[in-house]
Amino acid sequence: MKIGVLALQGAFIEHEKMLKGLGAEVVQVRLPGQLEGLDGLIIPGGESTTIGKIAAEYGLIEPLRQFARTTPTWGTCAGMIFLAKDIGIDRQPILGVMDITVNRNAFGRQIDSFEVDLPVTGLDEPFHAVFIRAPLVTKVGQDVKVLAALDDGKIVAVEQGHLLATAFHPELTPDSRLHAYFLGKIKGV
Ligand code: GLN
C-alpha cells in the first residue's frame, strides 16, 4: 500500500515512521504529481495557515482537493482544519471537502495543550490523545460520523466516508491503532 504524507510543514516525519512501521510504502508529497498512484494521504498537524500558504504557492490546493474528494484522506489537527468546509475564516486557504465546521485554537490558553485517555469508536481501549493548540469540531453534516468526543461532549474525531479527521496527534504517541484503522479503511474501499 502506498500512502502519501503532505510534507510542507509540521509533523509529517512522525506519520511517515508510523506508517512504515505498519508496512506501508510512504511518499512525501510536495508536488501535485506526487499524488499519482497513492492509495491514501495524511495531512499532518502543524500550522494550518502555513500549510495552506505553501500549498497555494506550490499549486497544490486544487490537486489536493480533487484527491481528497475521491481517495481516503486523514487530517490530524491542522490537517483537520485543512479538510473542513467551514473554519469561519475566509482568507485562509483550505480544501473544504469535509462537511464539518471547525474552530481553530478552540481551547483556552490555560489548557491549549493537554493529553487525555480518549474512548474512540472502533478501538477496544481508550487512545492516549495529545492535543496541541487543537481545533474542535463545532458542527457536523448528516453524513459525518462522530468517532470521539471529550467528556464535555466536544467532538474531536470524525469520519465521513473515505475521510477521517482527528483534532489530536496520534503520530506523537507509540500507539499505532489509528494508523492501522486508516490503512484498514483503505483496504476496505
Ligand atoms: N493551531 C494550529 C492551527 O491552527 C493547529 C495545531 C496543530 O496542528 N497542532 O493550524
Ligand 1 centroid, distance to 46 Cα (angstroms): 5
Q: Are strands 145-149 and 155-160 parallel, antiparallel or unpaired?
A: antiparallel
Question: Looking at residue 138, what is its pLDDT?
Answer: 97
* Residue 47 CB burial class (10 angstroms; 0-12, 13-18, ≥19): middle
CB count in 10 Å sphere of residue 97: 21
In testing the pocket of ligand 1, which one of 6, 92, 104 has its CB within 8 Å of the most ligand atoms? 104
Residue 189 has pLDDT above 70, yes or no: no
Q: Cα separation of 176 and 189, whole Å?
A: 20
pLDDT 10s digits, 73-100: 999 999 999 999 999 988 899 999 999 9
pLDDT 10s digits, 151-180: 999 999 999 999 999 999 999 999 999 999
Q: Whose CA is nearest to atom 5 of ligand 1?
A: 78
**Sign of the CA dihedral running 126, 179, 79, 44:** positive
| Whether 25 contacts 3, CB under 8 Å | yes
Residue 103 has pLDDT above 70, yes or no: yes
Q: Which residues line ligand 1 (CB under 6 A)?
A: 45-48, 77-78, 81, 104-105, 132-133
Question: Looking at residue 110, what is its pLDDT?
Answer: 67
Question: Looking at residue 55, what is its pLDDT?
Answer: 97
The one catalytic residue among 15, 77, 159, 179 = 77
| Whether 166 contacts 77, CB under 8 Å | yes
pLDDT band at 26 (very low <50, low <70, confident <90, very high): very high
| Whether 5 contacts 42, CB under 8 Å | yes
Least confident of 39-43, 102-106, 115-119: 102-106
Q: Is 36 a catalytic residue?
A: no
* Residue 125 CB burial class (10 angstroms; 0-12, 13-18, ≥19): exposed
Q: Is 169 a catalytic residue?
A: yes
Range 107-117 average pLDDT = 86
Question: Looking at residue 112, what is its pLDDT?
Answer: 86
Q: Is 171 a catalytic residue?
A: yes
Which grid cell sits at 128?
Answer: 492516549
Ligand 1 centroid, distance to 167 Cα (angstroms): 9
Name the architecture of domain 2-188: 3-Layer(aba) Sandwich (3.40)
Ligand 1 centroid, distance to 45 Cα (angstroms): 6
Helix and strand counts by DSSP (H, E) for the chain: 5, 12
pTM for the model: 0.96
Ligand 1 centroid, distance to 89 Cα (angstroms): 14
Range 140-145 average pLDDT = 98
- Above pLDDT 90, what percent of the chain? 93
Q: Cα separation of 120 and 104, whole Å?
A: 22
